[in-house]
Chains A and B, each alone.
Chain A
Amino acid sequence: MTGGDDVVVVERLEKIYREGFPRRIETAALTDVSFSVPRGSIFGLLGPNGAGKSTTIHLLLGFIAPTSGTIRVFGQPPSSPLSRRSLGFLPEIFAFDRFATGRGLLERFDALGGGDAAGRRERVDEALHLVGLAEHGGRKIGTYSKGMAQRIGLGQALLGHVELLILDEPMSGMDPANRRSVKQLLAARRNHGLTTLLSSHILSDVEELADHVVILKRGMIAANAALSELRRGTAAMRVVFGIVEGVTDAASAAALGSPSAAQGEAGFHAVSCADDELNVLLAKLVAARARIVSVNPVQGDLESLFLELTGPERAAEASA
């Protein structure tokens, strides 16, 4: 998925951390990671802890350098300040100059972003209003609550003419009302052409917002597709059936032996299978004289897919 209108292009990215002296210990944080972020999309970057999400973001921002591979942000390498000219970033823990007021901080960031002094007040007012801090702009940031601090962080990220927003766990310290308003804000901004790269552990948020997701596992890409495609791939059929009394043949036993089969209320059984396995399953149940109660398509959710892709490794880690 590499096109001419991609805001971020990452190709065969590798990052190895080297630590220790005199014996260097090497840890591969990313291996052969390639993806691109289309303009105007919300792009979810997912993975369990230590999968390489933050490393990827830090590489995109030029905080660290790749061991090999290429990164282009707006066609520029991250080491160039030009790559960050239309970029807003909110880190997981937004550390701020506590001595500054909310307005002072945004004014400074606007100046650093190259905004002209004439329109600065207007841009800062707009950003404060966007994140619901218009009333608190004159207060020192040191007096802000955690949620307010996170919102002023989002304000600085959205300041000015931002075309790419990189958010690392943006809603971690927010209450449900704030989370909802941030999600509404991101959705509205997407309609105005803003591209967002969203790294989050709150899968329901990503599922609600993202058009495309990359799932990282141990520094490698486990999935890279449009969210709709991933959902299709995990779609299943759910069959509910009853076993006619006195019949205990192989078909129902086979169905019940399936890991996804479960006995529900009133003696009914439910079993899920892939779309292309449905006919075989139904034939077995009919042959066994099971009573089919219902057959329904079940939409796969991101959480199930995420656990499916990252689960075995985590289970192995837990048992090790």
Chain B
Amino acid sequence: MTSPRAVIFRRHLARLRSNRSVIIGLVFGVLIMALLIGGSFIAATQSHDPDRSLVFQYMLWKNGELFSFLVVVFAIVLGSSLANDDIKSGTIFGVLARPVSRADYFVGSLAGAAVFVVVLQLLRIVSSLVLSIVFDGKLTLALFLGFVVVILGDLLYLSMFAAIGAVTSNAVAVFLGLLAVLITGLAFVPDFPAWVTYPLRAIAIFLPIMNESADAAYKAIVGESRLIAPVLEAIAYRSCWIAVLCILGVWGFSRREIAPRT
């Protein structure tokens, strides 16, 4: 007997595979990644630095902000529409009329959406690893843990927007989520005056997307730091937040009143 969660997971994968916007997003991501890899590769081969692997990693990760932004947007869209698209189309009611708990529905769908987000990020991670080997770079534990932090960061965005989208409409979820991203982003801008950043940091403490954990990951990936502890701390921090957000999402979705159009 297959668990309802596994069936929902496969269903959500099939839903996303048939969604034209999602496929366009993936194709766009692949194109950006190809350009990024190409640019980083050329920069590394033309570099006079003895460790060309580090140059490549630096180019790929520190300069790959457009790609990071794309993955975050992808996570925001998939997260906020996790249940809302199904509710809007009415397809959720056939599913929830079966012996399926709201928790199974939420977790199964979240896992399905997570696959797409992870696949997009894996494009960069796999190419990073392959070309690191090509440039005789060192494959350290810190490097691998850094990749884990990056993936957890994407999943953090996904679960945060899914948790908000579990209790509100798509548009409200995107608005609130982007507001949280903006607050966190502005809170850590070094050039901003303290009277702006300090209140924002006070709010950002309660938001799970703080920049310190991202810095630990990037330093490990581009070889600026070989310390494992900050990366492990970032993994623990992000994993805990993902768990908390999943629980909040399940709790909120279980209490949400939904009804088919009549």
A interface residue numbers (CB < 8 A to B)? 54-55, 58, 61-65, 81-82, 84-85, 87-89, 91-100, 108-109, 111-117, 153, 156, 166, 168
B260 contact from A63, A87, A114, A117, Cβ within 8 A: A63
B14 near A95 with CB under 8 A, answer: no
B94 contact from A65, A99, A114, A156, Cβ within 8 A: A156
A81 near B93 with CB under 8 A, answer: no
B14 near A97 with CB under 8 A, answer: yes
Q: Which residues of A contact B14 (CB under 8 A)?
A: 97, 99-100
Please name the 5 residue pairs, one residue from A and one from B, whose CB atoms are nearest each other, closest first. A95-B90, A99-B18, A89-B97, A112-B98, A81-B99
A64 near B97 with CB under 8 A, answer: no
B1 near A116 with CB under 8 A, answer: yes
Name the residue in B11, B94, B258 with the highest tally of chain A Cβ atoms < 10 Å from its Cβ.
B94
Could you list 26 examples of A-B contacts with CB < 8 Å? A55-B259, A58-B259, A58-B260, A63-B257, A64-B257, A87-B99, A89-B93, A89-B94, A91-B93, A91-B94, A93-B90, A93-B260, A93-B262, A95-B260, A96-B91, A96-B94, A97-B14, A97-B15, A99-B15, A99-B17, A108-B7, A109-B94, A112-B100, A113-B98, A117-B1, A168-B262
Q: State the Cβ distance, A53 to closest chain B Cβ, in Å.
A: 9
Known: A91-B90, A96-B94. A85 touches B99 (CB 8 A): yes
B2 near A81 with CB under 8 A, answer: no
Q: Which residues of B contact A117 (CB under 8 A)?
A: 1-2
Q: State the Cβ distance, B191 to closest chain A Cβ, in Å.
A: 38
Bound Cα distance from A166 to B91, whole angstroms: 17
Residue of B nearest to A156 (CB): B94
Give 1 or 0 for each of B231-262: 1 = CB within 8 Å of chain A CB. Answer: 00000000000000000000000010111111
Chain A CB within 8 A of B4 CB: yes
Give 1 or 0 for each of B85-96: 1 = CB within 8 Å of chain A CB. Answer: 000011101111
B interface residue numbers (CB < 8 A to A)? 1-2, 4, 7-8, 10-11, 14-15, 17-18, 89-91, 93-101, 104, 255, 257-262
Bound Cα distance from A94 to B258, whole angstroms: 15
B96 near A111 with CB under 8 A, answer: no
B94 near A81 with CB under 8 A, answer: no
A95 near B89 with CB under 8 A, answer: yes
Residue of B nearest to A55 (CB): B259
Residue of A nearest to B254 (CB): A79
A97 contact from B4, B11, B104, Cβ within 8 A: B11
> A85-B99, A87-B99, A99-B14 known; 5 other A-B pairs, CB under 8 Å?
A55-B259, A63-B96, A65-B255, A81-B4, A84-B100
Q: Which residues of A contact B99 (CB under 8 A)?
A: 81-82, 84-85, 87, 112-114
A111 near B2 with CB under 8 A, answer: yes
Q: State the Cβ distance, B13 to closest chain A Cβ, in Å.
A: 11
Q: Which residues of A contact B11 (CB under 8 A)?
A: 97, 108
Known: A97-B15, A111-B2, A114-B1. A64 touches B98 (CB 8 A): no
Name the residue in B258, B260, B261 with the highest tally of chain A Cβ atoms < 10 Å from its Cβ.
B260
Bound Cα distance from A89 to B259, whole angstroms: 13
Q: Which residues of A contact B94 (CB under 8 A)?
A: 89, 91, 94-96, 109, 153, 156
B258 contact from A64, A92, A99, A100, Cβ within 8 A: A64
Bound Cα distance from A92 to B90, whole angstroms: 11
Bound Cα distance from A113 to B2, whole angstroms: 10
Known: A93-B260, A111-B7, A114-B1. A61 touches B96 (CB 8 A): yes
B100 near A54 with CB under 8 A, answer: no
Q: State the Cβ distance, B143 to closest chain A Cβ, in Å.
A: 39
Bound Cα distance from A116 to B2, whole angstroms: 8
Bound Cα distance from A99 to B16, whole angstroms: 10
Bound Cα distance from A100 to B11, whole angstroms: 10
Q: Which residues of B contact A85 (CB under 8 A)?
A: 99
Q: State the Cβ distance, A160 to closest chain B Cβ, in Å.
A: 10
A54 contact from B18, B98, B258, B262, Cβ within 8 A: B262
Q: Which residues of B contact A116 (CB under 8 A)?
A: 1
Known: A54-B259, A112-B7. A61 touches B90 (CB 8 A): no
B98 near A84 with CB under 8 A, answer: yes
